[in-house]
């Protein structure tokens, strides 16, 4: 293994911390940048140095210049962007930056990030997709007849990071319980949210299929099941467990990525319908994901494998891992519990079979189970947890 000098962006994210720890243990010199220092990943003992950069979402041009400056100062030879906004800003500048970026080209990344196009591709490879209709403009939204939809539904922008009026805007998902609530929700959306999908809401546990493909070869696969999420109705996992991937779902996920000629890491996210058990595609994240540390703990070190592949070291594919490993993001789990107690089930858009507040509290108070790991707190690298704790209290 040849040690590399690697810059990891978006140091405030848990996935960045998992990447830094992985690559530092592998013997690489890892540097971190974020909009504010010290950052979560920058606090790790595996981070050689950290620097501040502009926000990749709101000031992408300045962000690219700041990253370029750090590349020159630290003599970086590989760059790993973490957030979608960072990838959108940096991938088109690959040649000008002059460093390896082990991700597909900008066009491929944009294509797989388009949820509307993604669902069309998924149907072609036999993956179930939720029923949906597409509203291309706010005018389409005003013409829709709320009585024609089956509720509850989800309002989902086609892109998580949209471009509108020359600016990039982060968009989010909204849940709508009934016809009376639809028009007010649509009216409250900005033009940046369009095109917008009005999608059947699939109720059931979240399943993630994680893959690393490189130059047509599969180097690693992993799967997890979400046990608790933030927000409680569905979002990022705060408590998750490694599971054996369903062979058919894994094969269809591979086929989906092949539609986009994918080269790198990706998370293919599904919801298992609570009644039928059918997995419905939610989205694909063509980047490192929030529960990355769980995969590493279970035996699939995606960051180290990706860097080795991008360095032409021909790593051996990882074909097995430990099922039943669980990872808990402590402060995310606290947020989950606070949401359960501060808002009712209707306000949180919870399904009818969601655990009660009391059940959720009892589950939270089980601080440890066999095969549990803390996502952030590690005795050999405790400073990120202290950094996160300070930031959590400052944000309350």
Indicate whether 167 and 255 sit together in one domain: no
When divided into structural domains, the chain yields a total of 3
Pair 254, 382 in one domain: yes
pTM for the structure as a whole: 0.94
Given 146, 168, 200, the domain boundary residue is 200
> What's the mean pLDDT in 267-294?
94
- Helices 106-113 and 115-124 sit at what angle, rounded to 10 degrees? 80
**Residue range of the domain that includes 88:** 5-101
CATH number of the structural domain spanning residue 361: 3.30.470.20
At residue 162 the predicted structure's pLDDT band, cuts being 50, 70 and 90, is confident
Cα 146 from Cα 154, distance rounded (Å)? 13
Q: Are residues 89 and 235 in the same domain?
A: no
More confident residue, 223 or 144: 223
**Are 225 and 327 within one domain?**
yes
User: Which residues, at least 6 apart from 263, have a Cβ–Cβ distance to it below 8 Å?
Assistant: 103, 104, 108, 213, 214, 215
As a whole number, the mean pLDDT across the chain is: 93
pLDDT at 116: 87
- Residue 95 belongs to domain with CATH number: 3.40.50.20
Phi-psi sector, 314: left (phi>0), alpha (psi -120 to 50), beta: left
Same domain, 367 and 254: yes
Residues 92 and 151 in one domain: no
**Complete edge-to-edge strand list for the sheet that includes strand 29-34:** 47-52, 29-34, 5-8, 78-80
Q: Are residues 239 and 153 in the same domain?
A: no
What's residue 354's pLDDT?
85
Query: Do 166 and 235 fall into the same domain?
Result: no
Looking at the structure, tell me whether residues 254 and 266 fall in a common domain: yes
The reported pLDDT for the residue numbered 381 is 98
Once rounded to an integer, what is the mean pLDDT over residues 35-49? 96
Residue 14: pLDDT band (50, 70, 90) is very high
Per-residue model confidence as pLDDT tens digits over 179-205 = 888 889 888 888 888 898 899 999 889
Q: Which of 200, 222, 241 is the last residue of a domain?
A: 200
From 176, 200, 224, the end of a domain falls on 200
**Same domain flag for 91 and 146:** no
Q: For residue 167, give the CATH number of its domain.
A: 3.30.1490.20
Average pLDDT (70-85) is 98
Tell whether 137 and 119 lie within a shared domain: no
Please determine, for residue 163, whether its predicted confidence score (pLDDT) is greater than 80: no
Q: Is the predicted pLDDT of residue 69 greater than 80, yes or no?
A: yes
Which pLDDT belongs to residue 206?
92
Q: What is the mean pLDDT of residues 226-241?
A: 92
Residue 225's pLDDT is what? Answer: 96
pLDDT higher than threshold 70 for residue 41? yes
- The answer to whether residues 47 and 137 belong to one domain is no
Is the CB of residue 230 less than 8 Å from the CB of residue 263?
no
Mean pLDDT of 92-110: 95
pLDDT of residue 177: 86
pLDDT value, residue 145: 83
Report angle CA 376, 378, 383 to the nearest 5 degrees: 75
Residues 320-328: what's their mean pLDDT?
97
Give the per-residue pLDDT at 165: 67
């Amino acid at each position: 293994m040849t040690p590399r000098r690697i810059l990891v962006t978006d140091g405030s994210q848990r996935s960045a911390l998992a990447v830094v720890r992985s690559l530092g243990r592998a013997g690489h010199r890892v540097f971190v940048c974020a909009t504010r220092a010290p950052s979560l990943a920058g606090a790790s003992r595996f981070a050689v140095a950290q620097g501040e950069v502009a926000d990749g979402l709101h000031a992408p041009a300045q962000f690219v210049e700041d990253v370029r400056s750090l590349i020159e100062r630290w003599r970086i030879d590989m760059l790993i962007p973490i957030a979608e906004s960072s990838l959108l800003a940096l991938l088109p500048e690959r040649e000008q930056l002059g460093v390896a970026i082990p991700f597909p080209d900008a066009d491929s990344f944009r294509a797989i990030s388009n949820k509307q196009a993604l669902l069309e591709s998924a149907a072609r490879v036999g993956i179930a997709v939720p029923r949906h209709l597409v509203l291309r403009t706010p005018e389409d939204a005003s013409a829709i007849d709320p009585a024609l939809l089956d509720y509850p539904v989800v309002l989902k922008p086609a892109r998580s990071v949209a471009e509108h009026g020359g600016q990039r805007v982060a968009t989010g998902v909204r849940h709508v319980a009934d016809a009376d609530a639809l028009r007010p929700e649509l009216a409250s959306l900005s033009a940046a949210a369009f095109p917008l999908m009005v999608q059947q809401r699939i109720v059931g546990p979240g399943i993630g299929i994680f893959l690393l493909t490189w130059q047509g070869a599969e180097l690693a696969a992993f799967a997890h099941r979400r046990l608790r999420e933030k927000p409680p109705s569905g979002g990022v996992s705060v408590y998750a467990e490694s599971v054996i991937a369903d062979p058919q779902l894994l094969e269809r996920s591979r086929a989906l990525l092949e539609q986009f000629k994918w080269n790198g890491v990706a998370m293919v996210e599904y919801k298992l319908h609570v009644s039928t058990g059918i997995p419905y595609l939610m989205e694909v994240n063509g980047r490192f994901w929030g529960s990355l540390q769980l995969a590493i703990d279970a035996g699939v070190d995606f960051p180290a494998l990706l860097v080795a592949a991008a360095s032409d070291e021909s790593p051996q594919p990882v074909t097995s891992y430990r099922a039943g490993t669980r990872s808990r993001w402590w402060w995310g789990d606290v947020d989950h519990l606070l949401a359960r107690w501060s808002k009712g089930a209707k306000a949180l858009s919870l399904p009818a079979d969601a655990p009660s507040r009391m059940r959720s509290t009892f589950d939270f108070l089980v601080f440890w189970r066999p095969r549990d790991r803390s996502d952030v707190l590690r005795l050999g690298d405790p400073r990120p947890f202290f950094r996160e704790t300070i930031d959590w209290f400052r944000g309350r």
